[in-house]
Structure formats: structure tokens, C-alpha cells
């Protein structure tokens, strides 16, 4: 039943509670059909996990009862969802097709190739990302920080205890990963926890498509390929790993879109409250997400001024936003308060001094901003920069053009540019920290393309909220099969797949599959030392303990745990030997060091301690020292 409960945990973390919230509060029209329930589910599961651990009741038995009930209720509600009636789905598809055809070839007008190109590019990007999701589903957590830090926090949550040494990092994603662990009763199987990463990608694209469809502006579909390019290049290789940069960008985009589409409609108050809730989700994901709790109210004030052109309505709007913003802060505050308290009592430590100053070696803010520009140049090189410079010039031109759009320009002026400035001055040590703004840059760029299209091709501009403010037509009388057949079929197929897979994927088979994937994927990060490490592990037996300067040694599942493997820094190791080294003199020890750290004095120390160097190939890039077990 390991696979079955893992699947229940996946559905719980990614869909069930959020879908029930959407249906209970009747906010279906305020959110994308998939991204909305997913985002709310991630936030709800995080809050429930945190609350359960605080009260010490986050156990497998309790979690299975709660998750089973919530998932069952969500599936029963899904079957009753009239939006999935055959005629509603068919009518929606026909309306979207007619809208696309009219955008490409307006009645009595000329052919407009840009909407067609935008749609085709969006479909290709979506299909490619879907293939990545399919290929990575049931894989392992990838990336050093996710493996060596974030997943360890997830294991702490799954063990019904507050994680230690979290610095100031919020815990929404580790809490999400912990849900399948607890429901399976096995935290060594990452089959489900590792499968969330490309869901964030796909639903980021769905959110951008939602904006295009709701505003009846298919040029906005250009935001999907632009977002893909910006995130793959802007975040780099870690964008397809389990880092939290894509999730925080997803929450930032969704919170902005919620008020973008409904800021002038009768649903505005609920849209603002929902946007602030989603902004708190960004803050619960990564520290930079705190920016969105200020950016969402600022956007509301800017749009109010744009509409009224008077300061009095802006002031009244600010007063109305105060309590909503306070609630958003209160929702994400507990983990930051916990971090602050544990830092004060000495069980945790702060990373802020290093990240704000130490990593820059005390350079001024202006120097950091200049370094951010040269850093981008160094990543590209001159030849690539010359080619990409054309694309960069186009990107800048589109974001200049968006200044002539009364709605989208405020996203650029109130979110993108201020955040990019903060990144250049304070966070440019890593380009991943710019991720929050990248989908929003894609949105403003596509809106800028629409401005240019209407300027030079005489295309008609549609009001942004034209679909958002239209009431839905009452449903016609339909039979049960027409009303519920599609949803019931989806639920039945999903249950059949889960039950069938549960019979095939035992816990042991998933672990064996995981180890094979791990050797292939983690070894690719730094392949040289892998073969000698595995060879010595086989020679020295299961009681072997590893102390490694090479950071990936302890990342493999078969080495995880302080009783099996410890990552060391040579200065600390040779200054004072780790307690496990002295506590287990009868266990064989493998010491893995980089050649540059092996000095004459340290070689003498190792000889005196009984270590013998074992020859490894030059390609390994490390030196290995072995101490046999003593009696």
C-alpha cells in the first residue's frame, strides 16, 4: 500500500484541499482551473502540517484519516462539478477556437500572424514541459540544496518534529514534500515528493494562458515561450531541479494575475483578498516572496489611481487594504518567528549577514549592481552576447512599449523594475534570486507586443476584464451522464491507475528504482569520485562510515544519515576529530578529501591515526584514505 498512500499524499498536496476551498467559497472564476486549486492546496497543506507538528499529532495514522477524508470529499465534489459537463467543455473549446480564429484573421480584416505564432509557440513549450514532467515523475530529488538541506527539513517535518537550523528559510515546500512521506510511512521513497517540480512549471504556463483567454488577447500567449526562455536561462540548470525558485515565481505570478483580471469588476474585494493569500504563499516559499505582500497592495493602489486620477480614492483603498495585508503577514509569520526565536536561543543561526555583506566581500551597492551586469555578460561570452543582444534589445523594446498600456505598465513599474533593482544591489550573487520577476517580465513583454501590434497593424484592443465581468449563462437541462460523465470517468481512470500501480510498485521496488536513478543522476553532478567510493564501500562492508569533503558522497540514499556518512570541512576535521570517529573505533572509515587540502601535516596526522591512502585514478579528482576497523 506504499504507492497507494503516496498517491493519496500527492493528490492531497496538489489538489484536494485547494479544490474544496475553491468550491466552498465560489471563487472558480477568480483563478485558473488547475493552478488555483493547486496553489491553495500547497498553502493549506503547509498550514495543516505546521499546525499538526506544533501539537505533536503529525503521525501516519492521523494523516491518513485526514488526507483520506479530504481526498474522498474532493473527488466526490469533482464528480458534481458542472464545469466538467460535456456540453460546457465542448462549448468552451469552441469559444476558444473561434476566439483564436478571429484573432488570427479578424472578420473583414487582414491576416495577423503574431497571434498564430504565439499560440503555436505556447503549445510547443507546454508539450515539451509536459514531456519533462512525464520523464521525471517518480524520480528523485535533484540539486544539492534540495537534497542536502530542503529534504532534510522535510524529513524532520515527517518525523513530527520542528526542523533544526533552518536559518530564515520558510518551509512551505519541505512541508509539501513531507505529506507523501508521512502517508506512506516511509521517508526514504522520494517517488512522489520529487514529482512536484514540473507541476509548478506547467501551472505557471497555465496561468499565463488563463490571462490570454480571459482577456481575449491571444498575443499574450507569447508570454509562455518568453517565460520558458527567461526561466531556463535566468535560473539556469537548477530550474529543472527541485530548487524553490520556480515555485516562488509561480505564486508571485498567480497573485498578480488574480488582481490584474478582476481589479475593476464587482469581484474586486474577493480578488484582492485572494491575491494577498497567494502572496503569503510566495512568502512561505522563499524569503524573496515577502516582496509580493507589499507589491500586491501597491499594484491595487496604482490601478486605483489610474482609474480615478484622484488621491482620495487611493487613500481609502489603502485603508481597506491594511487589514487584508495584516492577515497575509500573519499567515506567513509563524515560521519566521520560529526562525527568529531559535536564532536568539542559539539552536539556529542567521544567514543574512553573509548573504547581504559577506558574500560580496564588503563591496558597495553600486559595485554590486555593476557586477550583476558583468556577471550576465560573463555567462554569455562575447559571441553569445552579440547574438542574444538582439533578443535582449527586443525584450527591452517590448517592455518600453508596455508603458503605453494603462494596466500592464504598473506590473513593470511596481513589481519588475523595483525587484530587479533590489536583486542587483542585494541578491545578485545568484541569478536564481531574480526568478520571482521572470514570469511577470514575460507577461509585460507579451503585453508590449500587443501594444506594438495594435499600433502598427491597426488591431483592435479589447478591455482586459471583458470576460471577467461576464456572468455565466445558466446551465441547460442535461442528463446525468452529460452532467457528470466526464468527471466520473476521470476519477475512475485515476483510481484504476493508482490501484494498478500499487500492485506493481512495492516499496522495495521503488527504492531499487530510486537507487538506480540516483546513481545515474547524482553521479552526473561530479562523476569522478563515484566509482572509487562505490568500490571501497563494497570492499569494506556495510559497517563502513564515510567522512567526505566531496559534498555529493552523503547525498546518495544508501549513505544518508549521520551514522553512515558525514560531510566535513578539512579545517574543522583536523582541528577536532568528529565525535563519531572516536566513538566507533571498530568501524572501518573512508576519508575522501580533495588533493589541494591534503598537506604534509595532515598526511602525518592521518598516518598516526591509522589511515592508509588507497590509490584511485587521476580522473577521480579526490584522494581516499582508509582506516580498517580496530578490535
Say if residue 524's pLDDT is above 80.
Answer: no
Give 473's pLDDT tier (boundaries 50, 70, 90). very low
Q: Is the pLDDT of residue 468 over 50?
A: no
End-to-end CA distance of the chain: 43
Q: Classify 591 as helix, strand or coil.
A: strand
CB 6, CB 191: distance < 8 Å = yes
Say if residue 415's pLDDT is above 50: yes
pLDDT at position 362, please?
Answer: 62
> 2 pLDDT exceeds 60?
yes
Residue 596: pLDDT above 50? yes
Residue that is written with C-alpha cell 542574444 in the block: 388
Residue 309: phi, psi to the nearest 5? 60, 30
Per-residue confidence (pLDDT) for residue 371, from 0 to 100: 64
Of residues 457, 485, 166, 468, the one with CA closest to residue 340: 166
Range in 19-28, 260-269, 432-441 with the lowest mean pLDDT = 260-269
Q: What is the residue-wise DSSP string for 367-436?
A: HHHHHHHHHHHHHHHHHHHHHHHHHHHHHHHHHHHGGGSTTTHHHIIIIIHHHHHHIIIIITT-GGGGGG
Band of pLDDT at residue 39, cut at 50, 70 and 90: very high
pTM: 0.88
Name the residue with cell 483520506: 68
- Report yes or no: 30 and 213 within 8 Å, Cβ to Cβ: no
pLDDT of residue 630: 61
Q: Which residues 6+ apart lie within 8 Å of 119 measured at CB?
A: 100, 218, 221
Specify the range with the lowest mean pLDDT, choosing from 69-83, 349-363, 544-558, 612-626.
349-363
Please report which confidence band the pLDDT of residue 469 belongs to, taking 50, 70 and 90 as the band edges: very low
Structure confidence at residue 471 as a pLDDT band (50, 70, 90): very low
Average pLDDT score over residue span 138-145: 85
pLDDT value of residue 22: 97
The reported pLDDT for the residue numbered 482 is 75
pLDDT in tens, 531-559: 899 999 999 888 899 999 998 888 887 88
pLDDT exceeds cutoff 60 at 459: no
CA distance 575 to 197: 40
Q: pLDDT value at position 460?
A: 58
pLDDT of residue 104: 80
Q: Which pLDDT does position 591 carry in this prediction? A: 95
* Grid coordinates of 450: 500587443
Residue in this structure with the C-alpha cell 558522497, named with its chain if needed: 553
What is the spatial distance between Cα 177 and Cα 46, in angstroms, rounded to a whole number? Answer: 10
CB 336 within 8 A of CB 352: no
Strand pairing category for 565-567 and 612-614: unpaired
Rounded mean pLDDT, 365-386: 58
CA 72 to chain centre: 26
Instruction: Please identify which residue in the block is written with the cell numbers 492531497.
Output: 12
* pLDDT (mean) for 410-426: 93
Evaluate if residue 113 carries a pLDDT over 70.
yes
Grid coordinates representing 217 are 488577447
What mean pLDDT value characterizes the chain? 87
pLDDT: which is higher, 482 or 436: 436
CA distance 523 to 184: 27
Start-end of H helices in 105-189: 113-136, 144-145, 151-158, 172-184
397 vs 476, residue with greater confidence = 397
pLDDT above 80 for 238: no
CB 304 within 8 A of CB 317: yes
- In degrees, to the nearest 5, what angle opens at C-alpha 493 toward C-alphas 492 and 496? 85
Question: What is the reported pLDDT for 338?
Answer: 96
Query: Which position has the higher pLDDT, 366 or 268?
Result: 268
308-363 confidence digits (pLDDT tens): 889 999 999 999 999 999 999 999 999 999 999 999 998 888 877 766 665 655 66
Please say if the pLDDT value at position 606 is more than 90: yes
At 592 the three-state DSSP class reads strand
Give the pLDDT of residue 466.
45
436 near 230, Cβ under 8 Å? no
Burial class (CB in 10 A: 0-12, 13-18, 19+), 73: middle
User: Any idea what the Cα angle at residue 483 is, between residues 481 and 485, rounded to 5°?
Assistant: 45
* CA neighbours closer than 13 Å in the CB half-sphere of residue 477: 0
Mean pLDDT across 60-73: 98
Tell me the pLDDT band of 374, cut-offs 50, 70 and 90.
low
pLDDT at 317: 92
- Given a contact cutoff of 8 angstroms between Cβ atoms, the answer to whether 470 and 213 are in contact is no
pLDDT band at 458 (very low <50, low <70, confident <90, very high): low
Q: Measured between alpha carbons, how far is residue 126 from residues 83, 121, 242, 255, 256 in Å?
A: 23, 9, 19, 21, 21
Lowest-confidence range among 347-356, 487-496, 521-530?
Answer: 347-356
Give residue 476's pLDDT.
47
245-262 vs 268-285: helix crossing angle, rounded to 10: 170
Amino acid at each position: 500500500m506504499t504507492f497507494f498512500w503516496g498517491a493519496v499524499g500527492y493528490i492531497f498536496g496538489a489538489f484536494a484541499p485547494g479544490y474544496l476551498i475553491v468550491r466552498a467559497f465560489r471563487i472558480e472564476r477568480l483563478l485558473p482551473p488547475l493552478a488555483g486549486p493547486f496553489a491553495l492546496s500547497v498553502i493549506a497543506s503547509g498550514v495543516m502540517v505546521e499546525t499538526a507538528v506544533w501539537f505533536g499529532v503529525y503521525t501516519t495514522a492521523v494523516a491518513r484519516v485526514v488526507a483520506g477524508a479530504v481526498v474522498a470529499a474532493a473527488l466526490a465534489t469533482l464528480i458534481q462539478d458542472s464545469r466538467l459537463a460535456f456540453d460546457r467543455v465542448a462549448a468552451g473549446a469552441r469559444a476558444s477556437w473561434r476566439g483564436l480564429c478571429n484573432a488570427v484573421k479578424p472578420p473583414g480584416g487582414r491576416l495577423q500572424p503574431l497571434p498564430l505564432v504565439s499560440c503555436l509557440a505556447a503549445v510547443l513549450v507546454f508539450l515539451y514541459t509536459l514531456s519533462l514532467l512525464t520523464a521525471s515523475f517518480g524520480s528523485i530529488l535533484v540539486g544539492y540544496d534540495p537534497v542536502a538541506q530542503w529534504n532534510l527539513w522535510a524529513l524532520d517535518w515527517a518525523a513530527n518534529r520542528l526542523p533544526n537550523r533552518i536559518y530564515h528559510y520558510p518551509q512551505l515546500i519541505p512541508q509539501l514534500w513531507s505529506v507523501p512521506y508521512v502517508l506512506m510511512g516511509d521517508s526514504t521513497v522520494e517517488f512522489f515528493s520529487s514529482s512536484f517540480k514540473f507541476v509548478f512549471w506547467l501551472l505557471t504556463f497555465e496561468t499565463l494562458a488563463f490571462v490570454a483567454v480571459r482577456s481575449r488577447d491571444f498575443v499574450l500567449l507569447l508570454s509562455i515561450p518568453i517565460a520558458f526562455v527567461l526561466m531556463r536561462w535566468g535560473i539556469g540548470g537548477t530550474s529543472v531541479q527541485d530548487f524553490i525558485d520556480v515555485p516562488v515565481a509561480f505564486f508571485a505570478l498567480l497573485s498578480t494575475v488574480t488582481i490584474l483580471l478582476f481589479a475593476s469588476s464587482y469581484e474586486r474585494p474577493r480578488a484582492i483578498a485572494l491575491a494577498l493569500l497567494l502572496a503569503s504563499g510566495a512568502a512561505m516559499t522563499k524569503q524573496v516572496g515577502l516582496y509580493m505582500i507589499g507589491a500586491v497592495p501597491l499594484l491595487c493602489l496604482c490601478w486605483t489611481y489610474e482609474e480615478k486620477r484622484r488621491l482620495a480614492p487611493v487613500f481609502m483603498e489603502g485603508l481597506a487594504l491594511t487589514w487584508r495585508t495584516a492577515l497575509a503577514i500573519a499567515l506567513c509569520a509563524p515560521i519566521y518567528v520560529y526562525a527568529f526565536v531559535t536564532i536568539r536561543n542559539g539552536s539556529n543561526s542567521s544567514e543574512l549577514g553573509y548573504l547581504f555583506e559577506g558574500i560580496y566581500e564588503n563591496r558597495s551597492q553600486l559595485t554590486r549592481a555593476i557586477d550583476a551586469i558583468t556577471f550576465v555578460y560573463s555567462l554569455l561570452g562575447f559571441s553569445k552576447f552579440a547574438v542574444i543582444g538582439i533578443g535582449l534589445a527586443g525584450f527591452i523594446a517590448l517592455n518600453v512599449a508596455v508603458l503605453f498600456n494603462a494596466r500592464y505598465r504598473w506590473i513593470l513599474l511596481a513589481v519588475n523594475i523595483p525587484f530587479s533593482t533590489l536583486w542587483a544591489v542585494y541578491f545578485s550573487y545568484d541569478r536564481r534570486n531574480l526568478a520571482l520577476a521572470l514570469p511577470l517580465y514575460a507577461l509585460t513583454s507579451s503585453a508590449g507586443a500587443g501594444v506594438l501590434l495594435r499600433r502598427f497593424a491597426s488591431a483592435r484592443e479589447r478591455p482586459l476584464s471583458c470576460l471577467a465581468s461576464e456572468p455565466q449563462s445558466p446551465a441547460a437541462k442535461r442528463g446525468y451522464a452529460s452532467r457528470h460523465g466526464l468527471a466520473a470517468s476521470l476519477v475512475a481512470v485515476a483510481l484504476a491507475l493508482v490501484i494498478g500501480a500499487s500492485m506493481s510498485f512495492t516499496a522495495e521496488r521503488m527504492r531499487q528504482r530510486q537507487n538506480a536513478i540516483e546513481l545515474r543522476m547524482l553521479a552526473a553532478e561530479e562523476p569522478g569520485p563515484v566509482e572509487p567510493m562505490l568500490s571501497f564501500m563494497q570492499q569494506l562492508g556495510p559497517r563502513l562510515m564515510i567522512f567526505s569533503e566531496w559534498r555529493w558522497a552523503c547525498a546518495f540514499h544508501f549513505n544518508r544519515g549521520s551514522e553512515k556518512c558525514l560531510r566535513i570541512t578539512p579545517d574543522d576535521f583536523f582541528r577536532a576529530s568528529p565525535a563519531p570517529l572516536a566513538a566507533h573505533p571498530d568501524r572501518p572509515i573512508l576519508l575522501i578529501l580533495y588533493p589541494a587540502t591534503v598537506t604534509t601535516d595532515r598526511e602525518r596526522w592521518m598516518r598516526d591515526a591509522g589511515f592508509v591512502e588507497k590509490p584511485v585514478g587521476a580522473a577521480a579528482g579526490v584522494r581516499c584514505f582508509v582506516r580498517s576497523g580496530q578490535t
